Amino acid sequence: MIGLSFKQKIIVGCVAGVILLSGGAALVFHQPETKTMEIYSQALDDFQNGDYSNSYYRFSKVSFLSNLKPIAIYHQAQAAHELGDEDAAVKQYQLLFNNYPGHALSLRAKYLTAQQIIFKNPKLAHKYFEEIVNKHPHTDYGIASEYYLGVMIINKYHDNEQLFPQSEKVNAENYFRHYLEKAPTGRLAINACESWLGLKTEINKDDYLLMAKSYYLFGDYQKAKSLLAKTEISESWATDVLVSYALKNYARAKLLTELGLQQYTQYVSDDDIHAVVDKYIAMSDKNKLETVMHLMALNPAKGNDYLMHIKCIQVKAADQPACYSQLYLKYPDGQFSADALSNIFFAKYKQQKYTDAEKVGLDYLKKFPDSNSTPMVMFWMGKLYEQLNDYRQYNNYYSNVITKFPDSYYAYRAYLHLNRLEGPIITNYISPKPVVYPYKYTNKNIIVKLVELKDFDVISELYGDDDFIKSWVLYKKGDYSHSMLVARDAMEKISDKPPKYDLRWRLVYPVNYYETVEKYSDMAGTSMPLMLSVIREESYFDPLAQSSVGASGLMQLMPSTAFEISNRYGLGMTSSEDLFNAAFNVKLGNYYYAYLKSMLEGRDVSSIAAYNGGIGSLRNWRQSINYNDTDEFIEQIPYPETQNYVKKVFRTYWNYIRLYTGNN
């Protein structure tokens, strides 16, 4: 041990003792870092290729002085498990969590060890599970350990059921209850329900409802129904409604919805109320407005604000200002008050009551500085001051939208106004950059080694709490659709958005299929970043995506539309299966968009709206909506789905040019 400090010698000596007692391989201390990386890489390749014996041996050769050693030990345990040598796997896991207790993999190692020795050494397994629950109660491992602790109590009395004391049954029930409360859709949820029911104890009504919810979420509707029969209707009616719909018992679902809204709303959550209302409306044979008015007539104690919110969306445009005013006055601090006030503000603007609009807008921004509709109000305040020729104010509001909500649709519109750009297309070209690890790191960080080694599964385990790292791992594995969605949702949770140079943005707005889109957008004469935006919003980059009505592929084309475009331009489509060919789908989609644009005077906003809502609907809207400019038209598209679609596509377009050109 020449060259080691006294402290290092002590550590190495202790580890050596553990290894020798465990029957481990020969110790390796002095090893150049390049050699360690080479050995680890070869071992990982062997593991991924199914050569577990050689992988186990190679991982044992990783130096004990390398920060890769605990991960190598973890992989040795995995290799032993794959070889069916559970004793060796347990020894490696124990070596890991005993000698590296603070390592991120130690918790998983202890959990897996406890699982493996449940029957061989139940006392030790119980000790490990309890340690996990006590120290890490809210982790997946802590939650799952509660399930296993319940199972172990049952196992203890498996052969002596008559000796099973009531106190122990209560303990097992508590473990299963805690699991279901924390993880109703967890991997072990149905097992927890079955084990609990198998105890044959007197189960209370709340617990039957808890189990019924898990069975419903897992699609076992008959079992959920049987358990709901043992619950209190006042508390279970919302779940019962959803189960009844799933079992096609529409009469019961309708009856329970109306009964629940009349008498029992105080016993369920707002989310439950919203879910049953949405389902009721979707299944009604009447139009939405009639259905909502019928439900409002039931005078529910809770949930009426949601019904009023839906009503205001459905009433005629001329009646919306009064509706939103009523909603805001009745529920000024409710869940939908910000949306109501923003609509009141826009109505004042449309009526050219600029003094009133200014007052409402200022009140809104004071009360709701960070609501979903804040960028909209801030942008239209800029429009208001632009109408009043107040350069300083409108410049201030437009700039603030871009600064405070840089990735929003309204930042895009503000940019167009600030720069006096007439059309919606800022540029047809972007400079793509690859998706990379989403954080900057130094050579001292273990992550740089794991990235270089492409040990993606371990990266997920070590940094699984970070959704951007989870997204990056999914991307590296080729799951582009899931990767983008995880990153998108993670970015939405960040109130103060990072600068556009932040590497996480590339996961939110990746340039997948860039060369294909560039090729066919050039051929069809469309905007490359706009077509990339359509793909992102239509299919989330999943070439096999298919909607419930049959729209298929990256650009979600209906087969009938695709055949028509193929015949019109001689593109050679022979089967609807061609739509799942990524390149061919992009080709058809670009030509379809070019066709729409040619029919709509070359207007991109109208064409994007028609891509979603249909060219006939678009023409009707243009004739029926009273608008002075593009902004007013988009804000008043009567189909919420199409209005949101237009905003989403141009928001994505804005972000592609914001991130991949010099614009900011």
The CATH number covering residue 654 comes to 1.10.530.10
Is the per-residue pLDDT at 663 higher than 60? no
Residue 409: inside a domain, yes or no? no
Read off the pLDDT of residues 294-350 as tens digits, 9 standing for 90 and up: 999 999 999 999 999 999 999 998 999 999 999 999 999 999 999 999 999 999 999
Q: Check whether residue 543 and residue 629 sit in a common domain.
A: yes
Domain end: 198, 223, 250, which one? Answer: 198
Q: Check whether residue 27 and residue 142 sit in a common domain.
A: yes
Indicate the angle between helix axes 304-314 and 270-283, nearest 10 degrees.
40
Does residue 430 contact residue 661 with C-beta atoms inside 8 Å? yes
Q: Check whether residue 568 and residue 640 sit in a common domain.
A: yes
Residue 10: inside a domain, yes or no? no
Domain end: 149, 172, 198, which one? Answer: 198
Domain end: 295, 314, 333, which one? Answer: 314
Dig out the tokens for 417 from the structure.
Answer: 């106004």
Residue 391: inside a domain, yes or no? no
Is the per-residue pLDDT at 8 higher than 70? no
Mean of the per-residue pLDDT values of the chain: 93
Q: Check whether residue 499 and residue 628 sit in a common domain.
A: no
Read off the pLDDT of residues 498-546 as tens digits, 9 standing for 90 and up: 999 999 999 999 999 999 999 999 999 999 999 999 999 999 999 999 9
Phi/psi of residue 506, nearest 5 degrees: -65, -25
Residue 329: half-sphere exposure toward Cβ, Cα within 13 Å: 7
Read off the pLDDT of residues 219-233 as tens digits, 9 standing for 90 and up: 999 999 999 999 999
Q: Check whether residue 493 and residue 531 sit in a common domain.
A: no
Would you state the pLDDT for residue 564?
97
Q: Check whether residue 493 and residue 539 sit in a common domain.
A: no
Q: Check whether residue 152 and residue 123 sit in a common domain.
A: yes
Q: Check whether residue 78 and residue 189 sit in a common domain.
A: yes
Is the per-residue pLDDT at 38 higher than 80? yes
Read off the pLDDT of residues 143-196 as tens digits, 9 standing for 90 and up: 999 999 999 999 999 878 778 999 999 999 999 999 999 999 999 999 999 999
Instruction: Provide the 10 A C-beta neighbour count for residue 250.
Output: 12
Is the per-residue pLDDT at 613 higher than 60? yes
Q: Check whether residue 184 and residue 66 sit in a common domain.
A: yes
Would you state the pLDDT for residue 443?
55
Read off the pLDDT of residues 346-379 as tens digits, 9 standing for 90 and up: 999 999 999 999 999 999 999 999 999 999 999 9
What average pLDDT does range 409-438 have in this prediction? 95
Q: 137 falls in which pLDDT band (50, 70, 90)?
A: very high
Does residue 94 contact residue 87 with C-beta atoms inside 8 Å? no
Q: Is residue 550 helix, strand or coil?
A: coil
Would you state the pLDDT for residue 7?
41
Would you state the pLDDT for residue 200?
86
Would you state the pLDDT for residue 284?
94
Would you state the pLDDT for residue 441?
72
Q: Check whether residue 117 and residue 164 sit in a common domain.
A: yes
Residue 324: inside a domain, yes or no? no
Q: 447 falls in which pLDDT band (50, 70, 90)?
A: confident
Is the per-residue pLDDT at 29 higher than 70? no
Q: With CA atoms as reference, report the closest residue to 172 among 191, 227, 31.
A: 191
Residue 552, beta-bridge partner list:
546, 557
Would you state the pLDDT for residue 21?
39
In terms of C-beta density within 10 A (0-12 exposed, 13-18 middle, 19 or more buried), how is residue 92 classed?
Answer: buried
Would you state the pLDDT for residue 20?
40
Dig out the tokens for 552 from the structure.
Answer: 């298929």
Q: Is residue 313 helix, strand or coil?
A: helix
Does residue 586 contact residue 513 with C-beta atoms inside 8 Å? yes
Residue 634: inside a domain, yes or no? yes
Residue 26: inside a domain, yes or no? yes
Residue 327: inside a domain, yes or no? no
Instruction: Provide the 10 A C-beta neighbour count for residue 116.
Output: 18
Q: With CA atoms as reference, report the closest residue to 241 among 287, 208, 274.
A: 274
Is the per-residue pLDDT at 10 higher than 90? no
Q: How far apart are CA 628 and CA 622, in angstroms?
A: 11
Residue 310: inside a domain, yes or no? yes
Q: Check whether residue 607 and residue 468 sit in a common domain.
A: no
Read off the pLDDT of residues 59-68 as tens digits, 9 standing for 90 and up: 999 999 999 9
Q: Check whether residue 501 and residue 521 sit in a common domain.
A: no
Total domains in the fold of the chain: 4
Indicate the angle between helix axes 337-350 and 354-367, nearest 10 degrees.
160
Residue 86, domain CATH: 1.25.40.10
pTM of the model: 0.88
Is the per-residue pLDDT at 12 higher than 50? no
Say which range, 29-38, 59-68, 238-247, 499-508, has the weakest mean pLDDT.
29-38
Q: How far apart are CA 532 and CA 539, in angstroms?
A: 11
Q: Which residues form the domain of 185?
A: 18-198
Q: 1 falls in which pLDDT band (50, 70, 90)?
A: very low
Is the per-residue pLDDT at 79 higher than 50? yes
Is the per-residue pLDDT at 5 higher than 70? no
